[in-house]
Amino acid sequence: MRCVVANWKMNLLAADAAAWTEAFLARHSQAPGVAVGVAPPFPLLRPVGDALRAKGVRLFAQNGHAEPKGAYTGEVSMAQIQDAGCAGVILGHSERRQFFGETDVALIKKVKAARDWNLLPLLCVGETLTERQAGFTLEVLGQQLSILAETGPGPLWVAYEPVWAIGTGLRAEAEQVREVHAFIRAKLDQFMDRGDYPVPILYGGSVTPENFPELLGIPEVAGGLVGGASLDPGKFGDLVKQAG
């Protein structure tokens, strides 16, 4: 299975989202073996999800709190995300780790909570430029993936997003991607009993229609988590077609 997920981050207003979905759906058709997802900001979850559901597009949230309810001002629970129509949730994105102090301990709870509410966790891992230049890429990724030893078996997607490539126009070289995705697969086998749950490994970090075909040709690259290019419905539509 190949997977293409749009991460809009903190972008688009209601009118923009409506125009995006109209333009995307005008050219989108479901392809066998391709899972498509869109992760809008929280206020846009329900209208975007309602518009896309008929075409089999999965709705993802960009984050979620582990507790089902409570005095957590500014947070949104997995229960609320599921209630809004989401099928999955992005967890551990580097921007959450960097700007909001998201820890491995918190992510263990979030992965478990997502599964409790029948949400597919899309776990992001990746190294900074400093860590890569120091030769610590695999060590960093191994630590980030080690939380899976505590979360137990269950549905999971993983996205490798080198932090230094997000929104910069830079992309890891094919050999770097090949090495990292093979390492992630080995760690998945080590840390979790996958059972009946296949775990696709996506690549993220300045994914575009120009570089996506090459990425899809790399073993263990099952698709893409797309940031900037996903804000253009035409480009995102092209990426979905390339995955098919």
Query: 29-42 pLDDT, tens per residue?
Result: 888 999 999 999 99
Counting Cα atoms < 13 Å in the Cβ hemisphere of 101 gives 0
d(CA 123, CA 151): 12
Average pLDDT (219-239) is 97
pLDDT digits (tens, 9 = 90+) for 156-165: 999 999 988 7
Reported as a single tens digit per residue, the pLDDT across 113-166 is: 999 999 999 999 999 989 998 999 999 999 999 999 999 889 999 999 998 877
Q: Give domain limits for the chain.
A: 2-243
In this predicted model, which residue has the larger pLDDT, 241 or 206?
A: 241
For residue range 163-207, what is the model confidence (pLDDT) as tens digits?
A: 887 777 777 788 999 999 999 999 998 887 766 678 999 999 889
> What pLDDT score does 196 carry?
63
Burial classification of residue 103, based on how many CB atoms lie within 10 Å of its CB (0-12 exposed, 13-18 middle, 19 or more buried)? exposed
Residues that are catalytic: 93, 161
Q: What is the mean pLDDT of the chain?
A: 94
Cα-to-chain-centroid distance, residue 72: 24
What's the confidence (pLDDT) of residue 47?
97
Q: Which two tokens stand for residue 145?
A: 């993936």
**Residues of the chain above pLDDT 70, percent:** 98
Name the CATH code of domain 2-243 (choices 3.20.20.70, 3.40.640.10, 3.20.20.80, 3.40.50.720).
3.20.20.70
Per-residue pLDDT, 30: 87
State yes or no: pLDDT of 21 exceeds 90. Answer: yes
